[in-house]
Structure 1
């Protein structure tokens, strides 16, 4: 595998222009249960005997599961001297794709000793905010926290919620543009999401980008492997030549099934997180979730040391990644343009 880091998003293509490749050097490159995990040690806390209790809440993770984001978060906490099993207890509320389970999971979580809650998407953050107005909450992957009513503003959050947003205007249109470069003759793409997907801004960005490159988009919803299998079979029957999986916790939970179904139906796909590609998807583009996890640990450290969430500005992503699975490209009989390979942060070979 070849890797490199990207601190700025890929350029957005204005109408009628072409995105060109550029050479950049590489480096070896979300009904559940509340489960008790253990985690790291802060030097100061060890001296005082203080043990911190952190709740991790995710709708897109099964009980006991740890995503790239959560692993990076716990690694960064360890580097900050919060050590698993020594001065940090991590309690995980994992809804396994069932948003309706969140209120019960959060009600159980806040009954236990708890210093801070770390969430991923808006649904978890909203459930946490409804469950407590006193325990600090650090969000990690909320699309638009102001519109969702989680914070007053990005600069001055107010209340007990702060953290990171993955709202980057124009990012979603890159899905259409990058996919079109791989399958230039394709005239129809299918956007695959879980049921009750509610990201109107992403939808509008996708539609706008599709109009610019002469592609028709259809939108299809499926919550589990069986429904996703039906969605992809229908997409192929309707002459869709590729799929797009934008930000969504439900497809993320079933990413391996989605990636393998896409391969089975010979549908190239682009996804919002690299983990889809690691499970066999063709391409992914978006905020680097490992970096998001590490930055969330910095928020937690500041709050545990006395900072108030209301005073910590919400941050946007600073690192983005474009990942290509070359093995999947070969299996699909695709030739990836050299310019696209050069722009990739990682090529899985």
Structure 2
């Protein structure tokens, strides 16, 4: 459902710049369904079609597309630190055949600050990340960088797939942290419901990088507006189709950030969310 809403946001963005599917543009969509090992095959399939532009969602899909072609332009969205993961040379001058919209950092610290505001005595936070996703590893490092000055101890937990899911949850339960966070990662997102159920069972505070977690009953989401990122990706598509080179189009950061609070979950936990947080929320789930 999340992938479909992202595709709809891209379609909406394309319509805004004059492209209508079935009239002057054709879209070929491929889904890995949380199975990152399928990405190279899907990227190769699209390259063989061929397509004029590849649009990719997240660091893993963008890396697979980069491996599949050095000539077809690639526009990414929802990617973390593409300069550090080697997708682009720099933000102002990406070089190569990739550019797009990326998360570059401040939201990681903001998530911790918002958790601290909800629970002033916050001291230990468990973080689930995927060590096989470069974007997830970089998000862990960035969160750690913000945690130290805030006086928060971050406890990272590696999650690689179905075989170690229960083990990861047992390790977190054993350490009894104050709160749980996850990095943005397709594998982790595909487990949003069981993660949220675990958090509810252990009555932990939680802050997530994806809207799907809060819809499943998670407490808080804060991050760059993902639909807005896909609408901005459409502007890159338009510029490239009109002759611009990806190497000359600077990487953008999100300009719109969303905060969603699930008040229903807070009440079930017996947690009082400060008015200062509620007033700043873009949406409150009652």
Q: TM-score with structure 1 length normalisation?
A: 0.74
User: Is 1:154 the counterpart of 2:82 in the alignment?
Assistant: no
* 1:150 counterpart SS class: coil
Quick check: 1:97–1:250 contact (8 Å CA) kept in 2? yes
For 2:144 and 2:88, the matched residues in 1 are separated by 28
User: Is 1:126 the counterpart of 2:63 in the alignment?
Assistant: yes
Q: Where in structure 2 are the equivalents of 1:1-349 lying within 5 Å?
A: 66-168=3-105, 170-198=106-134, 199=136, 201-224=138-161, 227-349=164-286
For 1:106 and 1:235, the matched residues in 2 are separated by 35
Decide which structure has greater helix share. 2
Please list the CA deviations of residues 86-132 of structure 1 after superposition, one character each: whole Å capped at 9, or x if unmatched.
44322222222232222222121111131110012222222212211
TM-superposed deviation, 1:179:
1.2
Quick check: 2:258–2:282 contact (8 Å CA) kept in 1? yes
Identify the range of structure 1 (129-138 vs 142-151) with the bigger mean alpha-carbon deviation. 142-151
For 2:195 and 2:61, the matched residues in 1 are separated by 23
TM-superposed deviation, 1:223:
4.2
* 1:202 counterpart SS class: helix
Quick check: 1:229–1:261 contact (8 Å CA) kept in 2? no
TM-superposed deviation, 1:256:
2.7
Identify the range of structure 1 (267-276 vs 221-230) with the bigger mean alpha-carbon deviation. 221-230
Q: CA 1:335–1:293 in 2, change beyond 3 Å: closer, same or farther?
A: same
* 1:91 counterpart SS class: coil
Q: CA 1:104–1:264 in 2, change beyond 3 Å: closer, same or farther?
A: same
Quick check: 2:60–2:133 contact (8 Å CA) kept in 1? no
Identify the range of structure 1 (290-299 vs 179-188) with the bigger mean alpha-carbon deviation. 179-188
Any gaps of 5 or more consecutive residues in structure 1?
A: 1-60
TM-superposed deviation, 1:201:
4.6
Please list the CA deviations of residues 263-291 of structure 1 after superposition, one character each: whole Å capped at 9, or x if unmatched.
23322210112232122111011111111
* 2:27 counterpart SS class: strand
Q: CA 1:297–1:203 in 2, change beyond 3 Å: closer, same or farther?
A: same
| Other-structure match for 1:18 | none
TM-superposed deviation, 1:293:
0.7
TM-superposed deviation, 1:160:
1.6
| Other-structure match for 1:53 | none
For 2:34 and 2:211, the matched residues in 1 are separated by 19
Q: TM-score with structure 2 length normalisation?
A: 0.89
Identify the range of structure 1 (339-348 vs 292-301) with the bigger mean alpha-carbon deviation. 339-348
For 1:217 and 1:237, the matched residues in 2 are separated by 15
Any gaps of 5 or more consecutive residues in structure 2?
A: none
Quick check: 1:189–1:242 contact (8 Å CA) kept in 2? yes
Q: CA 1:126–1:206 in 2, change beyond 3 Å: closer, same or farther?
A: closer
How many residues align? The count is 285
